[in-house]
Amino acid sequence: MKNIKYILGILILSAYSCADVDPAIPFSDFNTGAYLRTIKAPTTINFFDIPSYNFVLEVEAVDAQDGRTVQQVDVFVKRRRGATLSPEVKLATVPGSAFATNTTTKYLRATINIPIATTLAAMGFTAADIAGGDFIEYRLAMLDTQGRVFTNSNLSPDIVGGQFYRSPFFYRVAVVCPSDLAGSYSYVTTNIQCANCPGSVPGPAGCGPSVTGNGTLTATTTPGRFAVSDATFGQYGCAWSDNPAAGVFFVDACLKVSTAGSDGYGLIYTFTLVANTGTALTINWQNDYGDGGRSVLTRTDSKTWPAGLTN
């Protein structure tokens, strides 16, 4: 009967003011418990500047005593490369005393700040063992003053992704290769090939020894993928009297260059890097119809072509 009255009391209180009642703490193995609400999530790791990265996570302890039942939070870590995981190791312990009051809510908060050097050393790695596309996976395990442990293996889906809770106890941090190739350039295209040009169009003769013009790389919603304004760098215009070859993408995956997409005729393109002075990038290009050439792309904006670009 006492439990029924208690539940009815909660329902009545909720009916009067949902905003004043914190949600239940729905852990699968406990009637009551605690969780760590994410206040500030960790950022991604820049592959080109791994040594400067710190895993920084701000969490808020939510429990029946406004976060004061937290005894400690252990941090574990492992590396993911595709489907391969390194062994998980203990990285750090954050004492309950690190949780302090804040000016926003009644709950205690703590900031976990772990340099990447500490993370790598714990796993037995160096920065050279980390590649673009890897993930560093951090897991939290909270021990409360009753000796109970809360982590990502004994919580409910609401705790993980609910708008209020935001407490996954698990953070998969991506190692990314920022790419900023978007911008403008001028081009000079030589060695023009048009093996399948019919006699009714100018063909390579219409281009002369070279063709010049201006082009752009436009960032897309996919990181590292840039739309090329004309994948033939003027050849379609002078050899075919046609519109620019749009629909092809210049892909930069941690300085490894490739192409994606196809032009309006469904033709696939290959770009082969020949030289890079920073200001000018020389490529040999061809499509699977027989068009080709060598183009020197000179930046006309304030950017340079990144050193180390390769196929």
Q: How many CA atoms lie within 13 A of 292 on its CB side?
A: 14
CA distance 86 to 138: 12
Q: Is 26 a residue whose pLDDT tops 70?
A: no
The average pLDDT across 74-82 equals 96
The average pLDDT across 18-36 equals 54
CA distance 79 to 91: 13
CA distance 186 to 203: 22
Among 146-150, 181-185, 291-295, the least confident range: 146-150
Asked if 239 contacts 192 with a C-beta cutoff of 8 angstroms, the reply is yes
Residue type, 129: D
CA distance 114 to 58: 12
pLDDT above 70 as % of the chain: 86
The average pLDDT across 65-89 equals 95
Whose CA is closest to 265, among 283, 291, 226? 291
Q: Which H/E stretch holds residue 184? A: strand 183-194
Q: What pLDDT, on the 0 to 100 scale, is given for residue 28?
A: 45
| Mean residue pLDDT across the chain | 86
Give residue 276's region: left, alpha or beta (phi > 0; psi -120 to 50): beta
How is residue 47 annotated by DSSP? G
Q: What pLDDT, on the 0 to 100 scale, is given for residue 44?
A: 92
Q: Is 29 a residue whose pLDDT tops 70?
A: no
Q: Which residue(s) pair with 182 in the sheet?
A: none
Cα distances (Å, whole numbers) of residue 226 to 45, 148, 178, 258: 22, 50, 13, 11
Whose CA is closest to 191, among 175, 206, 176, 208? 208
pTM: 0.70
Q: Which residue(s) pair with 37 in the sheet?
A: 60
Asked if 168 contacts 152 with a C-beta cutoff of 8 angstroms, the reply is yes
CB-based contacts of 253, cutoff 8 Å, min separation 6: 132, 133, 177, 224
pLDDT above 90 as % of the chain: 71
- Where in the chain are the domains? 23-176, 183-299
Asked if 228 contacts 287 with a C-beta cutoff of 8 angstroms, the reply is no
Q: What pLDDT, on the 0 to 100 scale, is given for residue 35?
A: 86
- pLDDT category of residue 13 using cuts at 50, 70 and 90: very low
The top-level CATH class assigned to 183-299 is mainly beta
CATH code of the domain made up of 23-176: 2.60.40.1940
- pLDDT category of residue 167 using cuts at 50, 70 and 90: low
